[in-house]
């Protein structure tokens, strides 16, 4: 019989009832996905901003207010719209009482982004300070909260301000630790709102963004016109808009949106587009092309508006709706009917575009057939290599798993945290393996420096054992839909060799799997360069400035250790750097960057321009590393 001391008591005292804000703060992942520190575009601090702006966008789509203003000063966020404003008598309830909001009245919000009235409450509960002001019918009212708890409700007063809603909040740094805003992410977020709502003006810290041509503008920004095989096709209909072309990249690059929401993980509308596009092209050319030959190298954007959309999580990154409206057409039929008419008509009217599309498809077909034999051998080698025992220390939860029905929201949050560390050497991979979270963190170990793949064809992916095994570990051979990890992290030493490995890995992904970088899946792990400690305290420092501050704080000549390789960091210490306080540097393509130009510059023939760049930008970094 078990000892009484080891028996877990379960009685009336074990049952707890949580206030709404307590539950959100206890399980934030259920409401905003992963927390993060701002290094990823889907981190919680950006979701908080999105939840407030979504309400402003819903106002605009119903003809109320033509601009939204976002201001960030330090960690304080201010959002102002010029819609109808929250009804003053219900304003406090709307931001602090669960199951309260205008979104439950489908007549008032026919095709809104958020339907369950949770978003603003989550922002309120997860903010150290939250203030809302509604201006409506010549009156205004303000309420102030701290961590979701009302601390002051102001009386209604007369106001000459334009109508609308003002929200000011600061994310709680006890939940979002060491966070910082990356303005490029916010700029992309605001631009997407503009592309999906032509004529809407978004202001960010005084800079204005606006789009007149919708998804056409989006695709023009995302592509290099010199690399497009034909001019962008832009089609618009009632509640649907599509823009598409083909370029010279591998894979598929599809941006999908629902009711103005960027669905980063796609969903039923994106799958409907992929299938409908293949059918229309086959019917037009009267040839049963392989689906992969039709879609390879496509770059497209598709936006639909549906009534009461069903998303697979509160963060609304994947659409689950099967129909465009209750009792309406299926998503597949809706998208197919549109493309069957509009795309077919466009191709008939533009024979030059149709011919260019056909040549791109036939080129894909030739390349696929050339690779067929090589791929078969490569797959056999991957099986014989015993990938999951020798190269990959896998985790338990993967991005493309079917979420657990029992605890779906929590499981999806874990999927968002799924990470694979790509490292080199036994000591480094050993330290990470011993200290990782086995539920969400996997480790892939490289053997030596990877091959420089610049200028190579996709044959090299299958002929090179390391890259062949890596793509199998990621499960991306057949496309991004099978991606097993949300975060792909380069974990290399902070020395010249480590930087070279990072560059070679970036070249590989940019050359053959650019979607992974474009969609924000690829990062560099930041690990401390120094450990500064005395008998009372240990401080880990990531640069020279942090080291100097630590020395000043600890005083009395503390012990300073310089980490020259990941293998020098013990597993116990490593656990600190890949846990809650992990620091990730995103690998990003800035506006105007085009992949082939970047690769040519950094990985092509040695030029004077590149030599000058290295001399001017890396001298200080190398001095730090060598010292």
pLDDT band at residue 620, thresholds of 50, 70 and 90? very low
Whether 56 has a pLDDT exceeding 80, the answer reads yes
Average pLDDT for residues 439-457, to the nearest whole number? 90
**Can you tell me the distance from the alpha carbon of 423 to that of 436, in angstroms, rounded to the nearest whole number?**
13
Ranges 150-164, 206-220, 499-513: which has the least confidence:
499-513
Other beta carbons within 10 angstroms of residue 625's beta carbon come to 17
Whether 103 has a pLDDT exceeding 80, the answer reads no
**Can you tell me the distance from the alpha carbon of 300 to that of 219, in angstroms, rounded to the nearest whole number?**
7
pLDDT band at residue 514, thresholds of 50, 70 and 90? confident
Torsion of CA 208, 319, 489, 72, to 10 degrees: 30
Beta-strand pair 240-246/207-209? unpaired
Highest mean pLDDT among 13-17, 111-115, 517-521, 606-610: 517-521
**Contacts (Cβ under 8 Å, ≥6 apart) of 69:** 78, 79, 80, 81, 203
pLDDT at position 348 is: 98
Whether 12 has a pLDDT exceeding 70, the answer reads no
Beta-strand pair 538-541/441-446? unpaired
94: closest CA among 63, 118, 114, 112?
A: 118
pLDDT at position 590 is: 66
pLDDT at position 2 is: 46
Largest CA distance in the chain: 82
Beta-strand pair 487-491/522-526? parallel
pLDDT band at residue 422, thresholds of 50, 70 and 90? very high
CA dist 214 → 127, 190, 241, 336, 338 (Å): 33, 13, 9, 21, 18
Which residues on neighbouring strands pair with residue 299, listed in sequence order? Answer: 245, 253
Whether 327 has a pLDDT exceeding 80, the answer reads no
**Helix (H), strand (E) at residue 411:** helix 408-417
Higher pLDDT, 329 or 606: 329
**Can you tell me the distance from the alpha carbon of 292 to that of 308, in angstroms, rounded to the nearest whole number?**
32
pLDDT at position 606 is: 62
Whether 42 has a pLDDT exceeding 50, the answer reads yes
Ranges 91-100, 514-523, 586-595: which has the least confidence:
586-595
**Can you tell me the distance from the alpha carbon of 169 to that of 462, in angstroms, rounded to the nearest whole number?**
50
Tell me the percentage of the chain whose pLDDT exceeds 70: 87
Structural contact between residues 63 and 82, judged by C-beta atoms closer than 8 angstroms: no
pLDDT band at residue 116, thresholds of 50, 70 and 90? very low
Paired tokens of 55 = 């309400």
| Residues in the chain, overall count | 627
pLDDT at position 567 is: 78
* Dihedral of alpha carbons 477, 483, 484, 489, sign: positive
pLDDT at position 383 is: 73
Average pLDDT for residues 310-338, to the nearest whole number? 83
pLDDT at position 171 is: 97
pLDDT at position 13 is: 57
pLDDT band at residue 26, thresholds of 50, 70 and 90? confident
pLDDT at position 551 is: 94
SS3 593: coil
DSSP string of 251-319? S-EEEEEETTEE-TT-BHHHHHHHHHHHHHHHHHHTS---HHHHHTTEEEEEEE--SS--BSSTT--SB
Which residues on neighbouring strands pair with residue 235, listed in sequence order? Answer: 242
pLDDT at position 315 is: 66
574: closest CA among 391, 392, 413, 443?
A: 443
Q: What is the mean pLDDT of the chain?
A: 86
Average pLDDT for residues 512-516, to the nearest whole number? 89
Residue carrying the six token digits 């310089």: 562
Higher pLDDT, 449 or 565: 449
Average pLDDT for residues 486-504, to the nearest whole number? 88
pLDDT band at residue 119, thresholds of 50, 70 and 90? confident
Centroid of chain to Cα 198: 23
**Can you tell me the distance from the alpha carbon of 173 to that of 217, in angstroms, rounded to the nearest whole number?**
37
227: closest CA among 516, 595, 510, 592?
A: 595
SS3 3: coil
Whether 208 has a pLDDT exceeding 70, the answer reads yes
pLDDT at position 115 is: 42
DSSP string of 441-454? EEEEEE-SSPP--T
pLDDT at position 318 is: 81
Structural contact between residues 81 and 65, judged by C-beta atoms closer than 8 angstroms: yes
pLDDT at position 279 is: 97
Structural contact between residues 140 and 134, judged by C-beta atoms closer than 8 angstroms: yes
pLDDT band at residue 621, thresholds of 50, 70 and 90? very low
Tell me the percentage of the chain whose pLDDT exceeds 90: 51
Average pLDDT for residues 409-419, to the nearest whole number? 83
Ranges 179-183, 205-209, 319-323, 613-617: which has the least confidence:
613-617
**Which domains, and CATH codes, for the chain?**
20-209 (3.30.565.10), 215-369 (3.30.230.10), 385-527+563-626 (3.40.50.670)
Average pLDDT for residues 531-556, to the nearest whole number? 91
Structural contact between residues 54 and 79, judged by C-beta atoms closer than 8 angstroms: no
Higher pLDDT, 590 or 428: 428
Whether 95 has a pLDDT exceeding 80, the answer reads yes
**Can you tell me the distance from the alpha carbon of 511 to that of 391, in angstroms, rounded to the nearest whole number?**
23
- Residue 238 sits at φ, ψ, to 5 deg, of -75, 115
Ranges 17-31, 83-97, 437-451, 520-534: which has the least confidence:
17-31
**Can you tell me the distance from the alpha carbon of 493 to that of 491, in angstroms, rounded to the nearest whole number?**
7
pLDDT band at residue 365, thresholds of 50, 70 and 90? very high
Torsion of CA 493, 499, 504, 509, to 10 degrees: 80
In our burial notation (b when 16+ CB lie closer than 10 A, e otherwise), range 207-225 reads eebbbeebbbbbbbebbbe
SS3 105: coil
Higher pLDDT, 251 or 293: 293
Ranges 81-90, 243-252, 431-440, 592-601: which has the least confidence:
592-601
Per DSSP (E only), the strands in 172-239 are: 201-204, 207-209, 233-237
Average pLDDT for residues 63-88, to the nearest whole number? 95
């Amino acid at each position: 019989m078990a000892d009484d001391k080891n028996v877990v008591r379960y009685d009336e005292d074990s049952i707890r009832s949580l206030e709404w804000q307590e539950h959100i703060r206890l399980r934030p992942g259920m409401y905003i996905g992963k927390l993060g520190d701002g290094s990823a575009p889907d981190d919680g601090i950006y979701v908080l901003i999105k939840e407030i702006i979504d309400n402003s966008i819903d106002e605009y789509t119903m003809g109320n207010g033509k601009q939204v203003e976002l201001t960030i000063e330090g960690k304080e966020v201010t959002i102002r719209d010029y819609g109808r404003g929250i009804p003053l008598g219900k304003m406090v309830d709307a931001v602090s009482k669960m199951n309260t909001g205008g979104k439950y009245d489908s007549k008032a919000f026919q095709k809104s982004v958020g339907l369950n009235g949770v978003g603003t409450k989550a922002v309120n509960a997860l903010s150290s300070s939250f203030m809302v002001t509604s201006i409506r019918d010549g009156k205004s009212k303000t309420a102030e909260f701290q961590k979701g708890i009302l601390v002051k409700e102001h009386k209604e007063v007369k106001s000459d301000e334009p109508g609308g809603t003002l929200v000011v909040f600061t994310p709680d740094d006890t939940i979002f630790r060491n966070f910082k805003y990356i303005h490029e992410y916010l700029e992309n977020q605001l631009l997407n709102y503009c592309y999906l709502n032509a004529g809407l003006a978004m202001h960010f810290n005084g800079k204005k963004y606006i789009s007149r041509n919708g998804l056409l503008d989006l695709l023009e920004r995302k592509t290099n016109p010199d690399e497009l095989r034909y001019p962008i096709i832009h089609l618009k209909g009632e509640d649907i808009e599509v823009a598409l072309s083909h370029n010279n990249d591998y894979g598929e690059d599809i941006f999908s949106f629902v009711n103005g929401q960027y669905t980063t993980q796609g969903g039923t509308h994106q799958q409907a587009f992929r299938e409908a596009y293949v059918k229309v092209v086959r019917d037009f050319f009267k040839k049963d092309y392989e689906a992969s030959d039709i879609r390879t190298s496509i770059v497209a954007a598709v936006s639909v508006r549906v009534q009461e959309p069903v998303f697979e999580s509160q963060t609304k990154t994947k659409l689950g709706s099967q129909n465009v409206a209750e009792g309406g057409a299926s998503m597949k039929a809706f998208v197919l009917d549109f493309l069957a008419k509009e795309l077919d008509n466009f191709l008939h009217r533009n024979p030059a575009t149709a011919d260019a599309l056909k040549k791109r498809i036939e080129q894909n077909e030739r390349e696929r057939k050339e690779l067929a034999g090589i791929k078969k051998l490569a797959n056999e080698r991957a099986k014989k290599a015993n990938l999951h025992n020798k190269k990959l220390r896998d985790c338990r939860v993967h991005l493309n798993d079917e979420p657990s029905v029992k605890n779906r929201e929590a499981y999806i949050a874990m999927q968002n945290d799924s990470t694979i560390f790509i490292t080199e050497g036994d000591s480094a991979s050993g330290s990470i393996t011993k200290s990782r979270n086995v539920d969400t963190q996997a480790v892939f170990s490289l053997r030596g420096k990877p091959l420089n793949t610049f200028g190579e064809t996709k044959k090299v992916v299958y002929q090179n054992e390391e890259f062949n095994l890596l793509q199998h570990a990621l499960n991306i051979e057949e496309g991004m839909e099978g991606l097993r990890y949300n975060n792909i992290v380069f974990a290399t030493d902070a020395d010249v060799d480590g930087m070279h490995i990072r560059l070679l890995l970036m070249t590989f992904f940019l050359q053959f799997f650019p979607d992974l970088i474009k969609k924000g899946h690829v990062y560099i792990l930041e690990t401390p360069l120094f450990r500064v400690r005395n008998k009372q305290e240990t401080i880990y420092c990531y640069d020279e400035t942090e080291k100097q501050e630590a020395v000043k704080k600890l005083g009395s000549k503390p012990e300073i250790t310089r980490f020259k390789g990941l293998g020098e960091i013990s597993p116990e210490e490593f656990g600190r750097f890949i846990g809650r306080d992990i620091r990730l540097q995103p690998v990003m393509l800035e506006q105007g960057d085009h992949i082939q130009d970047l690769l040519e510059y950094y990985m092509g023939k040695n030029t004077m321009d590149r030599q000058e760049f290295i001399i001017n930008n890396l001298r200080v970094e190398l001095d730090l590393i060598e010292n």
